[in-house]
Structure 1
Amino acid sequence: MGNMPLFVFFKDIRNVFKADELRLEIVHIALPTLLALLADPVASLVDTAFVGHIGPVELAAVGISIAVFNQVSKIAIFPLVSITTSFVAEEDTTEELRANEQVHEKIESGTPISKEMEMEELVPLVGKSSSTEMVKIERVRRHIPSASSALVVGSVLGVIQAVFLIFAANPVLNYMGVDSNSPMLKPARQYLTLRSLGAPAVLLSLAVQGVFRGFKDTKTPLYATIVGDVANIILDPILMFVFHMGVRGAAIAHVISQYLISLILLWKLNKQVDLLTSGVKDLRFGQFLKNGFLLLVRVIAATFCVTLAAALAARQGPTTMAAFQVCLQIWLAASLLADGLAVAGQAILASAFARKDHSKAVATASRVLQLALVLGLMLSIILTVVLQFGSRIFTKDVNVLHLISLGIPFVAVTQPINALAFVFDGVNYGASDFAYSAYSMASFGGFSEHIVPISIIKPWLCWNLGCFICLYEFARTGWILEDRNGDGTVELS
Structure 2
Amino acid sequence: MMAMTQASATTKAARRRHDREIVALAVPAFGALVAEPLFLMTDSAIVGHLGTAQLAGLAIASALLLTAVSVFVFLAYATTAAVARRVGAGDLPGAIRQGIDGIWLAILLGVAVTALTLPAAPALVELFGASDTATPYALTYLRISALGIPAMLIVLAATGVLRGLQNTRTPLYVAIGGFAANAVLNVVLVYGAGLGIAGSAWGTVIAQYGMAAVYGFVVVRGARRHGASLRPDAAGIRATAQAGAPLLIRTLSLRAITMIATAVAARLGDADVAAHQIILSLWTLLAFALDAIAIAGQAIIGRYLGANDPEGAKAACRRMVEWGVVSGIVLGVLVIATRPLFVPLFSSDPAVQSAALPALIVVAIAQPICGIVFVLDGVLMGAGDGAYLAWAMIVTLAVFTPMALLIPVFDGGLTAVWITMNVMMAVRMVTLWLRSRSGRWIVTGATR
Q: Same fold (TM over 0.5)?
A: yes
| Cα pair 1:56 1:319 within 8 Å, conserved | yes
Pairs within 5 Å for 1:215-230: 215-230=165-180
5+ residue gaps, structure 1: 1-10, 100-140
- Determine which structure has more spread, i.e. the larger CA radius of gyration: 1
Does 1:75 pair with 2:71?
A: yes
Aligned with 1:285 (options 238, 260, 263): 238
C-alpha deviation, 1:15, in angstroms = 7.1
Pairs within 5 Å for 1:380-391: 380-391=332-343
CA deviations on 1:371-401 (whole Å, 9 max, x unpaired) are 0010011111110111133211111111110
Structure 2: distance between partners of 1:89 and 1:448: 39
Q: Secondary structure, in 3 states, of the residue corresponding to 1:440?
A: helix
Q: Secondary structure, in 3 states, of the residue corresponding to 1:322?
A: helix
Does 1:401 pair with 2:353?
A: yes
C-alpha deviation, 1:326, in angstroms = 0.4
Structure 1 152/379 Cα, relative in aligned 2: closer, same or farther at 3 Å?
same
Structure 1: distance between partners of 2:328 and 2:305: 28
C-alpha deviation, 1:155, in angstroms = 0.6
Q: Secondary structure, in 3 states, of the residue corresponding to 2:34?
A: helix
Q: Secondary structure, in 3 states, of the residue corresponding to 1:273?
A: helix
* Paired amino acid for 2:118: I
Does 1:342 pair with 2:294?
A: yes
Structure 1: distance between partners of 2:66 and 2:204: 14
Q: Percent identity?
A: 27
Give the structure 1 partner of residue 430 of structure 2: 472
| Cα pair 1:239 1:249 within 8 Å, conserved | yes
Pairs within 5 Å for 1:161-200: 161-178=113-130, 182-200=132-150
Give the structure 2 partner of residue 357 of structure 1: 309
Does 1:445 pair with 2:445?
A: no
Does 1:425 pair with 2:377?
A: yes
Aligned with 1:273 (options 218, 223, 241): 223
Does 1:238 pair with 2:191?
A: no
CA deviations on 1:34-88 (whole Å, 9 max, x unpaired) are 1111233223212111111111010111111001111121112x22211111111
Pairs within 5 Å for 1:65-104: 65-76=61-72, 78-96=73-91
C-alpha deviation, 1:144, in angstroms = 2.8
Structure 2: distance between partners of 1:434 and 1:318: 38
Deviates more, 1:454-463 or 1:383-392: 454-463
* Paired amino acid for 1:444: V
Structure 2: distance between partners of 1:64 and 1:16: 49
Q: Secondary structure, in 3 states, of the residue corresponding to 1:336?
A: helix
Deviates more, 1:190-199 or 1:387-396: 387-396
* Paired amino acid for 1:70: L
Give the structure 1 partner of residue 3 of structure 2: none
Give the structure 2 partner of residue 120 of structure 1: none
Structure 1: distance between partners of 2:278 and 2:287: 14
C-alpha deviation, 1:219, in angstroms = 0.5
Structure 2: distance between partners of 1:39 and 1:444: 31
Structure 2: distance between partners of 1:321 and 1:164: 26
Q: How well do the aligned residues superpose, as a CA RMSD in angstroms?
A: 2.7
5+ residue gaps, structure 2: 1-6
* Paired amino acid for 2:368: P
Structure 1: distance between partners of 2:340 and 2:10: 34
CA deviations on 1:350-385 (whole Å, 9 max, x unpaired) are 111111012211111111111001001111111011
C-alpha deviation, 1:21, in angstroms = 2.2
Structure 1 400/345 Cα, relative in aligned 2: closer, same or farther at 3 Å?
same
Q: Secondary structure, in 3 states, of the residue corresponding to 1:54?
A: coil
Give the structure 2 partner of residue 49 of structure 1: 45
* Paired amino acid for 1:269: V
Structure 1 198/23 Cα, relative in aligned 2: closer, same or farther at 3 Å?
same
Pairs within 5 Å for 1:129-148: 144-148=96-100
Structure 1 333/12 Cα, relative in aligned 2: closer, same or farther at 3 Å?
farther
Structure 2: distance between partners of 1:17 and 1:467: 33
Does 1:27 pair with 2:23?
A: yes
C-alpha deviation, 1:172, in angstroms = 0.7
Q: Secondary structure, in 3 states, of the residue corresponding to 1:479?
A: helix
The normalised TM-score by structure 2 is 0.89
Deviates more, 1:217-226 or 1:277-286: 277-286
C-alpha deviation, 1:19, in angstroms = 7.4
| Cα pair 1:444 1:462 within 8 Å, conserved | no
Structure 1 437/356 Cα, relative in aligned 2: closer, same or farther at 3 Å?
same
| Cα pair 2:264 2:404 within 8 Å, conserved | no
* Paired amino acid for 1:240: V
Q: Secondary structure, in 3 states, of the residue corresponding to 2:133?
A: coil
C-alpha deviation, 1:460, in angstroms = 4.1
Which runs of structure 1 show a deviation greater than 6 angstroms over 4 or more consecutive aligned residues? Answer: 11-19
C-alpha deviation, 1:455, in angstroms = 5.6
